[in-house]
Amino acid sequence: MKNHSTLSLLILFLVGTAMSCKNDKAQVQSEIAVPKLISRSEKIQLGKEWDLVQNTYMDKKQTIEKNPKDHKASLELAQLYIKEARVTGEHGHYYPAALQMVDTVLKDKEINPDLKFIALLTKAGVQLSLHEFIDAKTTGEAALQLNNHNAQIYGVLVDANVELGHYDKAIALGDKMASLRPDIRSYSRIAYLREIHGDIDGAKAALKLAVESGYPGNEETAWAMLTLGELYSNYGDDASAKKVYSQIIEMRKDYPFAVAALAELELNEGNMDQAEKGFEEAITIIPEVGFYTSLAKIYKKQGRLQELDAIMKEVFLMLEDDVVSGHNMNLEYADIYLNLLDSPKEALTYLEKEYDKRPLNIDVNRMLAQVYLSMDSIEETRNYAQAASITNSQHPDLLNINSHLDQLSLLF
């Protein structure tokens, strides 16, 4: 009997040990699960760049699988996901993937302060990309407490404060960033702050410095050039914009945002066939929702209602995918309902949600003014237009709204 009891206890011990080992193994496997790398389309593989991305991914993945607590590798992989999100347009996959890697690092209570700073900085950057600006500000401020000598954290906080409408704070943070590191990132932010405050020539000058300080052919440099081109176009200089977009294509062939920007210029000039061809080409490179909505504008202008209906179904599926993956798309929905579907009341529901989050932001107020103007609600239009004008913004849409209001005041 004694032997039987001993044997039973031994069996229970072995079974328990086996189950414990199995559970431990499952836990380790769950800890080292690494989100996949999505293959780039041929047009954006760009030879050595794509090879480097794949090699980096495999190296970091293997490192993490061997040692789930290699936080440096996890953060480097998160940063790779962030870059791929912008290059490929696969936001719904890559932003949650980046957050997964960062949150795994932040769960470690024994993490050293330097790595925790990088993790918080990276997380705040993703939150900005997801348009969760309050969260980005909170996370960024936590990172700043760990390191107030890093230029990038000031850049994150510039962006968050701009989006929340804290413009004076953003200027102070931008000055601090530029004093620490005058480079492509700080010059780009200075340019945006100048544009917001109506200094268009100053914004152009800062963006030119940004481009000059970037490495030719890099995606970051192409983005700065794209922003410069948009600045030219938005303020009436399509010829200079076209020149910049063409230079991007020369340096970074098939850069989808430059392809679409050139198509937008064709659309502005009434060259519908060329514009349609350009947007279709951009779509074959990456699935960016803005390219689809631009194509939808052409279908609407030409009365191609069946094609418009079909592409809008695709657009809403893409937006839904973004929302499910944590992306705040209120302004995108509002723009579509206002300018494509002629439904200002639907646009208003999304804008009111966004206004509740950031009532001081001039872009949100400007869009609200546009919606109320389309609904002939003049008092509301005036109130939101005034809120959108507090920085002396010279945005063409805002100038158009104020011009309408001035004409109405003369009539009454």
Provide the pLDDT confidence category of residue 13 given band limits of 50, 70 and 90. very low
What residues does each domain of the chain span? 182-252, 254-328, 335-412
- As a whole number, the mean pLDDT across the chain is 92
Q: Report pLDDT for 31.
A: 55
Q: Report pLDDT for 310.
A: 98
Q: Report pLDDT for 32.
A: 60
Topology agreement, domain 254-328 and domain 335-412: yes
The residue that leads in pLDDT, 40 or 9, is 40
Using a CB cutoff of 8 Å and minimum separation of 24, what contacts does 173-180 make? 177/151, 180/149, 180/150, 180/151, 180/154
7/412 Cα distance (integer angstroms): 99
Q: Report pLDDT for 412.
A: 62
| CATH class of the structural domain 254-328 | mainly alpha
The residue that leads in pLDDT, 201 or 217, is 201
The angle formed by the CA atoms of residues 284, 332 and 288, to the nearest 5 degrees, is: 15
pLDDT in tens, 311-357: 999 999 999 999 999 999 999 999 999 999 999 999 999 999 999 99
Tokens (6 digits) for 213: 């300080």
Q: Flag whether pLDDT at 2 surpasses 70.
A: no
The percent of residues above 70 in pLDDT, for the chain, comes to: 92
pTM of structure: 0.89
Q: Flag whether pLDDT at 30 surpasses 60.
A: no
217/22 Cα distance (integer angstroms): 49
Annotation: CATH topology of 182-252 = 1.25.40
216: left (phi over 0), alpha (psi -120 to 50) or beta: beta
pLDDT in tens, 280-322: 999 999 999 999 999 999 999 999 999 999 999 999 999 999 9
The radius of gyration of the chain from alpha carbons, rounded to an integer in Å, stands at 25
> Is-contact 338 371, C-beta < 8 A?
yes
Architecture of domain 335-412: Alpha Horseshoe (1.25)
- Mean predicted confidence (pLDDT) in 383-405: 97
Q: Buried (b) or exposed (e) across 25-37, using 16+ Cβ within 10 A?
A: eeeeeeebebbeb
DSSP string, 69-81: T-HHHHHHHHHHH
Provide the pLDDT confidence category of residue 143 given band limits of 50, 70 and 90. very high
Q: Report pLDDT for 314.
A: 97
Provide the pLDDT confidence category of residue 45 given band limits of 50, 70 and 90. confident
| CA distance readout (Å), 401 to 46, 230, 359, 373 | 43, 21, 19, 8
Q: Report pLDDT for 275.
A: 98
pLDDT in tens, 240-261: 999 999 999 999 989 999 999 9
Q: Flag whether pLDDT at 15 surpasses 90.
A: no
